[in-house]
Amino acid sequence: MRWDNLRLTATDGQDDPAVPLFAGGAVTRTFDTPEFRGSTFYEIRARSIINRVPAASRVPFTHTINPYRGCGHRCVYCFARKTHEYLDLDAGADFDSKIVVKVNAAELARKELTAPSWHGGHVAMGTNVDCYQRAEGRYQLMRGILAALRDAANPFSVLTKGTLILRDLDLLTEAADVTEVGANVSAGFLDPDVWRAVEPGTPAPHRRLEVCATLNDHGIGCGVLMAPILPYLTDSPAQLERTVREIAASGATHIAPIVLHLRPGAREWWLTWLSREHPRLVPRYLELYGRGAYAPKAYQQRVTGQVKELAARHGVGRATPARARRPPSRPTGQPRPQPQQLTLL
């Protein structure tokens, strides 16, 4: 079975037929608090935590760490939804509410980063599901992971929609003194009605841009993944102008615009939502995405071209965080890690 590294090494004696097959011995928890009501957490002890990225993925990093699977941000369009099916769960409501928590993630990260076989590749976090989703406020796995990366002077980057990353500002700045640290917040639009409808579990977009500003103020170079841009919902010239203007005001080091893509799992969930909330748009979406997961290249190029022109006009990237203007210190004799920017293609 895929994701075999999530199998358990211990059991708590549960025998609940509703528990997914991979987690037959998981510690299953629910919390009676407003932010977690309706959610189930499967605490497992993973066998490994650093994942190698296949070369065919065409992303500018070689390894990832994902302490969670499933995401309480509940973004309707999330491309990672399909991965929940590999865990005997569905890509819809289960992805939003049944969260796998790798409780030994920090322990494994420290072990694997110090193994003789590890050669210091760039580690990206937040590339599958958000490592700073709400569950992180309770489980606090990222602090141990960041401490392990800092102590190994291993280059890394974080992509998030969460504001909880600021809790770990001390560790990020300490790590930036010894290695290359990059960050991106994801904010594809600012429209409050669209945000509440399609990203119901996330902090508001303007709060994410405040995170971007704070990170840059503390010398952690942070850009904005302007994604996804939603056809017919957030792609008008006025909406793009407003979003880029606010991104520029946050001091973002760069903008990476990405038009919505609808892979299997996300496609079905998105079209179900669209038919309920905006039925008149369904034919337009079927025209755009009728042949695959991506909108036609001409449409993508037009929208991303507009964003790039706006970014140049508003001066995105002209300011450089103070810490980024000087090389980090590192132990004598250790080669300087090559900076890599976290961007999803």
Percent share of the chain, pLDDT over 90: 77
The pLDDT assigned to 32 comes to 82
Q: Which long-range contacts (CB under 8 A, 24 or more apart) does 10-18 make?
A: 10/45
Please name the amino acid found at residue 42. Y
Render pLDDT for 101-119 as a digit per residue (tens, 0 to 9).
Answer: 999 999 999 999 999 999 9
Per-residue confidence band for 311, with pLDDT thresholds at 50, 70 and 90: very high
The residues, any chain, with a CB within 8 Å of residue 25's CB and separated by 6 or more, are 8, 10, 11, 12, 13, 14
Render pLDDT for 185-205 as a digit per residue (tens, 0 to 9).
Answer: 999 999 999 999 999 999 999
DSSP annotation of 261 reads B
Pairing between strand 98-102 and 123-125?
A: unpaired
Whole-angstrom distance, CA of residue 298 vs CA of residue 240: 17
Contact 321, 163 (CB under 8 A): no
Task: Provide the H-helix boundaries in the chain.
Answer: 93-97, 105-113, 135-139, 141-151, 169-176, 192-198, 205-217, 237-249, 266-277, 282-289, 297-314
Greatest pairwise CA separation for the chain in angstroms: 63
Residue 324 reports pLDDT greater than 60: no
Structure tokens at 121: 């590749």
Residue 177 reports pLDDT greater than 80: yes
Cβ burial of 161 (10 Å; 0-12, 13-18, 19+) is buried
Whole-angstrom distance, CA of residue 345 vs CA of residue 338: 20
Whole-angstrom distance, CA of residue 74 vs CA of residue 219: 31
The pLDDT assigned to 24 comes to 57
Render pLDDT for 38-91 as a digit per residue (tens, 0 to 9).
Answer: 999 999 999 999 999 887 777 778 899 999 999 999 999 999 999 999 888 999
Reported as half-sphere exposure (CB side, CA atoms, 13 A), residue 176 has a value of 24
Contact 171, 148 (CB under 8 A): no
The residues, any chain, with a CB within 8 Å of residue 328's CB and separated by 6 or more, are 176, 177, 178, 179, 180
Whole-angstrom distance, CA of residue 44 vs CA of residue 98: 13
Per-residue confidence band for 325, with pLDDT thresholds at 50, 70 and 90: very low
What mean pLDDT do residues 258-279 have?
97
Average pLDDT, the chain: 88
Render pLDDT for 3-37 as a digit per residue (tens, 0 to 9).
Answer: 344 444 333 434 444 555 555 567 889 988 888 98
The pLDDT assigned to 280 comes to 98
The pLDDT assigned to 330 comes to 44
Strand partners, 56: none
Whole-angstrom distance, CA of residue 244 vs CA of residue 283: 29
